[in-house]
Amino acid sequence: MTTSPTPRTRFAPSPSGYLHIGGARTALFNFLYARRHGGTFILRVEDTDRERSTDASIAAIIESLEWLEIAWDEGPFFQSKRTTVYVAEVERLLREGRAYPCYCSVPELEAKRAAALAAGTKPVYDGTCRDLPAGDSARPHTVRFRGPKDGETVVDDLVKGRVVFQNAELDDLIILRTDGTPTYNFCVVVDDAEMRVSHVIRGDDHLANTPRQILLY
């Protein structure tokens, strides 16, 4: 008989406001699932968006969790303090050819986006920089993940069942911004892997992010 490992769950709020009822519900489910199975519940503060994150929100969220008696076993971990970890992973993907520098400027990308919307098509990155011969790292650039162009990615969700996404619709995600900061979907994957999260229990609003994160794994 095989025994399944004890679960490791996480609540990962973005501190841009108070803990709302949806967040409290997500925290509760993660907490209860870990408790029910003798597992570990992790608190991770997703504060990579420095403009929207505030210390007052962090304090309010922690205070609210304490008031609800939702006690975490590990953390709180702060993504803002882990930039070097994420950047090292971006560099590894670049070395492995799984990511590439993108030199397209914001106005260029916006013009293409507007053209796609006007033509009634889905605005996805057109891959201009995907196959450039060699990167010129001195020029301002973002780093994009080199995703598959065809095939599909299946999110096997315990509530919704199998949700199928066409990879062609998931364009090459920016994982590092021009200013050298990593982006949300990338940090989540690095952290969930490193923190050995076994069950991702999250808000329904993250369904669209999940196939991108699966591809990054």
Asked if residue 47 binds ligand GLU (CB under 6 A), the reply is no
Question: Which residues have C-beta within 8 Å of that of residue 134, sequence separation ≥ 6?
Answer: none
Q: In the set 141, 144, 146, 202, which binds ligand GLU (CB under 6 A)?
A: 202
Q: In the set 14, 80, 178, 181, which binds ligand GLU (CB under 6 A)?
A: 14
Q: Quote the tokens at residue 191.
A: 């952290």
Nearer to ligand GLU, 104 or 163 (CB): 163
Q: In the set 7, 13, 147, 211, which binds ligand GLU (CB under 6 A)?
A: 13
Nearest-approach distance from CB 129 to ligand GLU, in angstroms: 28
According to DSSP, residue 183 is labeled P
Q: How many Cβ atoms are within 10 Å of 49's Cβ, its own excluded?
A: 15
Nearest-approach distance from CB 185 to ligand GLU, in angstroms: 9
Q: Quote the tokens at residue 40.
A: 């570990």
Question: Which residues have C-beta within 8 Å of that of residue 45, sequence separation ≥ 6?
Answer: 12, 13, 15, 58, 61, 75, 76, 77, 78, 79, 80
Residue range at the interface with ligand GLU (CB under 6 A); choices 28-36, 133-141, 142-150, 200-208: 200-208
Task: Count the residues of the shown chain that bind ligand GLU, applying the rule CB under 6 A.
Answer: 8
Nearer to ligand GLU, 141 or 202 (CB): 202
Asked if residue 46 binds ligand GLU (CB under 6 A), the reply is yes
Q: Quote the tokens at residue 18.
A: 């108070």
CB 23 within 8 A of CB 66: no
Residue range at the interface with ligand GLU (CB under 6 A); choices 8-16, 82-90, 98-106, 123-131: 8-16
Q: Quote the tokens at residue 119.
A: 């033509």
Q: How many Cβ atoms are within 10 Å of 188's Cβ, its own excluded?
A: 25
Residue range at the interface with ligand GLU (CB under 6 A); choices 69-77, 86-94, 158-166, 201-209: 201-209
Distance CA 170, CA 215 (A): 10
According to DSSP, residue 182 is labeled B
Nearer to ligand GLU, 148 or 203 (CB): 203
Give me the residues that bind ligand GLU (CB under 6 A), please.
Answer: 12-14, 46, 188, 202-203, 206
